[in-house]
Amino acid sequence: MFSKSKNVAELAAQTSHVQILNPDFGDEILYIEGQPRDYRFDARNGTFKLGEEEILTDHNGQPLKSFTFQPLAWRIFTDTLFGREREETWAEIFFVDSENCLSVIMFNNSSVKELQKLIQPLFYKRKKLSEVVLTMTPESHENTKIKPKATYFIAKFKMEDAMPERIEAFGQYADCNRIYRLDTLTNGAIYHFVADCFYNALAEQEKEEPIIEEFKQAA
């Protein structure tokens, strides 16, 4: 039987620091396979974070009011993650941040629905998310179904066309590197929308295991 914990450990042991020269920008994109830099949108207070604790701020030291990035790879899926008890719909979007690190930002539920509103018109224009620059902006809402009522935030999105040279450069990078976040991969995820360049490491390893076993038996 396939053991996720065993295979996650094996995959993690195989990863290494990857530095890919990007001649278009004169810099390297830093990426540890399966462990992109972790950005977060905190729907509880409408902040953007690097990791669990570091709130991103502007030059005045105030929390960022928006967050802009160009998608490189992505997936929208339903799964039970981070020890939560119920299934939720998640968006996981990979991008290169301002320090040329391969990064990921995740958000769920209502914010995902907002992103999906942009995906449909893009589809009918024959465009991909990798061809636009997205700007996320928190919007405050009240939950009046509970007492006392609580405030939460939904991410709203705006988009503009990305620079052709960046589309090409990031596309080449995505084609040459296995882009995924290892600690959010499960066998139970239900996929709704996924980039061609997203690498499902667990699924690929499952495909390889029967081939390896067959080879051993034939030897």
Distance, in Å, from the CA atom of 56 to the CA atom of 66, rounded to the nearest integer, reads 10
pLDDT of 4 higher than 60: no
pLDDT of 162 higher than 70: yes
Whose structure tokens read 């009522």? 149
pTM of the model: 0.83
pLDDT of amino acid 41: 96
| Cα diameter, the chain | 68
For 6-30, the pLDDT digits (tens) are 444 454 444 445 555 444 545 689 9
pLDDT of 5 higher than 80: no
Distance, in Å, from the CA atom of 214 to the CA atom of 219, rounded to the nearest integer, reads 9
Mean pLDDT of 140-168: 89
Give the lowest-confidence range in 63-72, 124-133, 140-149: 140-149
For 51-96, the pLDDT digits (tens) are 988 999 999 999 999 999 999 999 999 999 988 889 999 999 999 9
Q: Which comes out higher in pLDDT, residue 208 or 81?
A: 81
Distance, in Å, from the CA atom of 141 to the CA atom of 44, rounded to the nearest integer, reads 10
Whose structure tokens read 């996924």? 194
pLDDT of amino acid 204: 86
pLDDT of 203 higher than 80: yes
Domain that holds residue 200: 4-218
pLDDT of amino acid 19: 52
- What string of H, E and C letters represents the secondary structure of 112-139? HHHHHHHHHHHHHCCCCHHHEEEEEEEE
pLDDT of 216 higher than 70: no
pLDDT band at 209 (very low <50, low <70, confident <90, very high): low
pLDDT of amino acid 15: 47
pLDDT of amino acid 205: 83
Mean pLDDT of 124-140: 97
* Number of separate domains in the chain: 1
